[in-house]
Structure 1
Amino acid sequence: MKKLTIYILSIIVIGFAGCKNKTTINQSEAGEVITDYLKANPEYKTTRFNFGEMKFSSTSDKVELGKYRTLESKGVVSINLKEAKKKFLSKDSSFVYQITLTDKASPLVLKQDDDKATVKVVEYLLSDEKPVDFSQVNSSTAKVTVSLKKVNTDFAPFDKDANENSNFITKTYKLKLSKDEGWKVQK
């Protein structure tokens, strides 16, 4: 009887030891989970971008036209002059341009209408300099804070609220342990 009890207890202990999941996470594993999440769900900031047939004044819209010229020099848009009007006895002239997006702009365009597009102005990437800060709340959840560096795109000059107070943001993600998939970011 004693042998049978020891035999049953040893099977139960081995069974529990074999079924135990890894419930702890370290800093490098947390960084890998966040990196995989950011590859599938990138962080970015957007704005509305006007294109198509646009009218510019030579004096008041000089800065705005300069932004479009910069995009043209980078190959993101093409600009064609349709019409130029010189006002009588005035230094001011008006120009009508046809502005079109090129293939080079397609990775930055999220949504496009006839004369407006939603474009990425800033992309946020995981910073290599600042380590991942995490705390394990309990055996199946963890809180991870990372630093994301700010990378401006070609459309950055069109950002209406471009706060240049810092070149990074900090973001906190909640990780949850799944029996099937391991540690994943909880949305």
Structure 2
Amino acid sequence: MKHKILTALLFIVVAFTSCKDIGKISSEEAGEVITDYLKANQEYKTARFHFGEIKFNSKNEMIELEKYRALEDEGYISMTLQEGKKKFLSKDSSYVYLIKLTEKANDLVLKQDEDKATVKVVLYELASEKPVNFNRVNDNNAKVTVSLKKTNTVFAPFQKNTNENSDFITKTYRLKQDKEEGWKVVK
């Protein structure tokens, strides 16, 4: 008798939990869908990074050399001095370095040519302190606007416009309900 009662209770619990209305979505659930999407499809900003044999001789190029040295200190590139000419009592010195990307830079390099690479300079992550705003378009579609906070990578000094006006961006994603998978982001 106990076995039949437990089986009946289990059946009722399973029936009620499986009858959850998947057509409804809350802001928390929308945030979870966006978070899962961002884990698989990371948002980022890119810049071109030059490597190979590079000559540094002017004052502006020496500032650029310091950026490369900072990358070398963190292990993302290796630098070998090919030629160095220190001019006596002059600020005009000339250095030629052979710069190579290391294995540590692999996660941040998207595309690599002979002497240039496209690298990630800023990564965007879902800001947990700002709420998710969403509008239900119809039963199967929703538009979700989220705030993504910026996180600079080690290649951030190589982007052209480093003086940006905010530490976050807002982005709108379109969600569609799939009968088997539930809510998911569509492009």
Normalised TM-score (structure 1): 0.85
Deviation readout 1:105-144 (Å, 9 max, x if unpaired): 1110011111110000000001111011112111111111
Contact in 2 for aligned 1:78/1:101 (Cα 8 Å):
yes
Alpha-carbon offset, residue 163 of structure 1: 3.8
Alpha-carbon offset, residue 85 of structure 1: 2.6
1:101 aligned partner: 101
Give the residue type in structure 1 aligned to 2:148.
L
Residue correspondence of structure 1 range 1-187 to structure 2 within 5 A:
22-57=22-57, 59-86=59-86, 90-187=90-187
CA distance in 2, matches of 1:163, 1:95: 29
SS in 2 for 1:61: helix
CA distance in 1, matches of 2:31, 2:122: 22
Structure 2: runs of 5+ lacking an equivalent: 1-17
Q: Relative to 1, partners in 2 of residues 1:20 and 1:146: Cα closer, same or farther, differing over 3 Å?
A: closer
Moved over 3 A (4+): 18-21, 86-91
SS in 2 for 1:138: coil
Deviation readout 1:25-69 (Å, 9 max, x if unpaired): 111110111011101110000011000100000534111101101
CA distance in 2, matches of 1:180, 1:42: 24
Identity %: 67
Structure 1: runs of 5+ lacking an equivalent: 1-17
Alpha-carbon offset, residue 150 of structure 1: 0.1
CA distance in 2, matches of 1:96, 1:73: 18
CA distance in 1, matches of 2:157, 2:149: 18
Residues 151-160 or 65-74, more deviating:
65-74
Deviation readout 1:86-121 (Å, 9 max, x if unpaired): 458854121110111111111100111111100000
CA distance in 1, matches of 2:67, 2:31: 37
SS in 2 for 1:157: helix
CA distance in 2, matches of 1:88, 1:70: 26
CA distance in 2, matches of 1:62, 1:150: 28
CA distance in 2, matches of 1:60, 1:125: 33
Give the residue type in structure 1 aligned to 2:35.
T
Contact in 2 for aligned 1:141/1:175 (Cα 8 Å):
yes
